[in-house]
Structure 1
Amino acid sequence: MRFRSLLAAGLIALGATSALAGASSSQLETYQPDPALLTAPKSELEGRVRRACAVVQARLQKGDESNFDRPCGCYARATLKSLDASEVEAYRTTGYFNDSARAKALGAIDSCKLQRPV
């Protein structure tokens, strides 16, 4: 169950709304963001985004999560550095990136040479 939650969070964090298009509405309605996000330091948010990225990239590229430590670290740092306070707050509240943050995250995916989720 933890893996599914992490994977769902990873897909959402990466802005992979199209990847979630196949999920039933009941699955999406039952998603609850981790309440710890509300008070987590930004370094923990970065770690969560990095781990979610590694899970998603490993699945997309059929590799081991550890192979994506460096590029996902790049992605997490670049993404969180680019977010303004309202985008970080929205992520804390919902557990996923809003539209403006998603655009920035996609730019970070490209600059860190990761595969975009489909």
Structure 2
Amino acid sequence: MRLVSSRASKLLAAAALASLLAACQSGRTQVASLEGYTPDPALKTASKSNLKGRVSHACVVTQARFQKVAEASVEQPCGCYADRTLSSLDGGEIQSYRATGYFNDSAKAKALNALDSCKLPRPA
């Protein structure tokens, strides 16, 4: 059963991927790499469970490409990453993510720690 339309799914994947990639970029590079990016308006009202799903999906797509493996092989560690990242974020970091679609500087540090804890390589 499909829960979202194909177009919505693609937008969700793009927003999630942008947030994961932005989490691993430096501040100045981040702005340049996200030029023209518009966050999904649904982020503003998304449940924490939905945010976890978005972060996990972005991780799966990014890590599978980065490691050149099947997406299924990184689903469990990416679930770990999403759980640890979102549980470590404070209210301000969550609000920043909702507003921008990517992690702010303090959230990035927590996301990188979650990658390490879940034994996922950091994107270059």
The corresponding residue for 2:18 is 8
- Post-superposition offset of 1:93: 0.3
Identify if the C-alpha distance between structure 1 residues 24 and 74 changes in structure 2 by more than 3 Å, giving closer, same or farther: closer
Matches within 5 A, 1:68-107: 68-107=74-113
Structure 1 segments of 4 or more deviating over 4 A?
A: none
Q: Percent identity?
A: 56
> Residue type matched to 2:118 in 1?
C
Output the CA distance in 2 between the equivalents of 1:80 and 1:107: 12
Q: What TM-score do you get using the length of structure 1 for normalisation?
A: 0.85
Could you report, residue by residue, the CA deviation over 1:59-83 in whole angstroms, capped at 9, with x for unpaired residues? Answer: 1100111111110000000000000
Give the number of aligned pairs.
113
The unaligned stretches of length 5 or more in structure 2 are 1-6
After superposition, the CA RMSD in angstroms is 2.3
Q: What TM-score do you get using the length of structure 2 for normalisation?
A: 0.81
Contact 2:39 2:99 in 1 (8 A): yes
Identify if the C-alpha distance between structure 1 residues 24 and 82 changes in structure 2 by more than 3 Å, giving closer, same or farther: closer
The corresponding residue for 1:62 is 68
Q: What secondary structure is seen at the aligned counterpart in 1 of 2:42?
A: helix
The corresponding residue for 2:4 is none
Contact 1:54 1:72 in 2 (8 A): yes
The corresponding residue for 1:116 is 122
